[in-house]
Amino acid sequence: MIRHHPAAEILVDYARGALDRGASLVVACHLDVCEICRSETRLWEGVGGALLEKLDPAPLDANALARIMTRLDDQQPHRPTREVGLPAYLNRYSIPRALKHESVASRRWVTPGIWFAPIVAKEKTGRRTYLIYASRGTVMPEHQHGGGEFTFVLHGAFSDPSGTYGKGDFAETDERAVHAPAVTQESGCLCLISSDAPMALKSWPARTIQRLLGTPY
Amino acid sequence: MISREQAEFRVSRFNTAARPRFWPVRDEETVARPSAGDTLPDWTICIGAIARHRDKKQFALLFDHFAPRLKSYFIRLAVDNGTAEELVQEAMLSVWRKADYFDPARASVSTWIFTIARNLRIDIARRERDPHRLAEAFEPIPEPMPDECVTTFEREARIRTAIGILPSEQANIIRLHFFEDRSHAEIAGMLDLPLGTVKSRVRLAMGKIRALVEDLQ
């Protein structure tokens, strides 16, 4: 059962295209499993459609129509799901459709119980998007985020002072929060995270590992 | 804009249990034509003709209507004229390729085209950095649930009504917020209003739209 949803403003920002790609991807994963938020998003996309109708037309280049008409015959029919083939280590999880278009890099183990796999190459905004897995009972090193962070839980559950987040849940962390999320005891936890800035680790051993690995998370 | 008769026809069609999944087969003479009066063609029928017959005349009609609005949309996002022209071509080529997948039970044509343009927008930043990766547009495609399909047409009609009856200053703020990528603070500066006023007007306008749509459900 889904208990944590994106805030209303996040859905509006998603619908109007104001989130960058990684953040949109995390929201889209939640929409894939949450009918309530999907319906809310359709509402704001409908507003976008209605406003598009009302925009003052901008003059096109004189040859715009002619140019597109000559390109029509070259178009390949659209394939609905251009699935790129996710790495085998993800086979055991149910992966939201939104993620199946993305290429996932190979995973990097940080400790015996934690790995990262980058999804979207670092964006101009500095945003990083990655899968992170931590085995049951893992407590992540205490850290703070330079900016906002969106999380979608694909498998398992974790808790931090703001609550417990399970499969299908969406979590937003702002730049002020310092947290040390802990994976629950039942199973390992797989999350999709998109974050504005690298995490700022609070303890020096964790920082040393971060520096040695060169992982920008 | 479609006539009241067409609207009623479509509402009743979507309310029947045996609602067609995609395209009802229609006679050639029902294919949209520009009419002599001020009513525009029914874009749903127009897309249907493109999907079934690869109808270039219908595509040209659709292009004449939507391409200048899409250009206006992209220009508002502060891209230059040449990029805007190219994005319009790409958006409309997507419409041509994906016409088969347009589902009138999910969204109106203008909302569907808006989401295509919106997904291109999400990729603008990335293509600036890496112009050869055009093929990987962001495209999450969550499927509608059967019960949310029923009221799509009514919902979109309500959205249009709601936007139509908003006081002009609220409609203006919604447009700025949705299409010009302005933060609340920027809008406040442009309109010479206190930030709190802008925020409350956005909230009011969105609340009004939501209330009108929820009234339906």
Give A73 to chain B, closest Cα distance, Å. 10
More confident residue, B152 or A2: A2
Nearest to B99 by CA among A195, A62, A78, A155: A78
Q: Which two tokens stand for residue B162?
A: 């709601």
Amino acid A171: pLDDT: 94
Banded pLDDT at B73 (limits 50, 70, 90): very high
Give the count of Cβ contacts less than 8 A between chain A and B.
Answer: 180
Name the average pLDDT for chain B: 74
B104 by DSSP, 3-state: which?
Answer: coil
A187 C-beta neighbours (distance < 10 Å), count: 14
Q: Is the pLDDT of residue B109 over 80?
A: yes
- Cβ–Cβ under 8 Å, residues B187 and B173: yes
Residues of A in contact with B54 (CB under 8 A): 72
> CA-to-CA distance for B173 and B179, rounded, in angstroms?
10
CB B181 within 8 A of CB A136: no
Phi, psi torsion values for B81, nearest 5 degrees:
-55, -45
Query: With contact defined as beta carbons under 8 Å apart, do B180 and B76 qualify?
Result: yes
Tell me, what's the pLDDT at B38?
47
Residue corresponding to tokens 């119980």: A113
Q: Which of B89, B128, B77, B131 is nearest to A61 (CA)?
A: B89
**CB of B130 within 8 A of CB of B174?**
no
What pTM value is reported for the model?
0.81
Q: A110 with A209: CB under 8 angstroms?
A: yes
Chain A contact for B92 (CB, 8 A cutoff): yes
- In this structure, of A14-23, A121-130, B100-109, B112-121, the range with the lowest mean pLDDT score is A121-130
| B114 to A75: CB separation less than 8 angstroms, yes or no | no
Lay out the sheet containing A143-145: strands in order across: A178-179, A143-145, A199-201
Mean of pLDDT over chain A: 84
DSSP 8-state assignment for residue B134? T
Residue in A32, A48, A68 closest to B178 by CB: A48
In chain B, what percentage of residues exceed pLDDT 70?
Answer: 67
Per-residue pLDDT band at B23 (split at 50, 70, 90): very low
Average pLDDT over residues B136-148: 52
Per-residue model confidence (pLDDT) at position A198:
67
Best residue in B55, B110, B177 for a mutation probing chain A (most A CBs within 10 Å): B110
Mind listing the pLDDT tens digit for each residue in A86-131? 888 888 998 888 888 787 888 888 888 889 898 866 566 667 888 9
CA angle B49, B123, B94 (to 5 degrees): 10
- Please name the residue of chain A whose CA is at the shortest distance from the CA of residue B113: A49
Say yes or no to pLDDT of B128 above 70: no
How many angstroms separate the CA of residue B14 from the nearest CA in chain A? 17
Q: What is the pLDDT of residues A48-60, one digit of tens each?
A: 999 999 889 999 9
Q: How far is CA A96 from the centre of its chain?
A: 11
Predicted ipTM of the assembly: 0.85
Residue A80: closest CA among chain B residues belongs to which residue?
B101
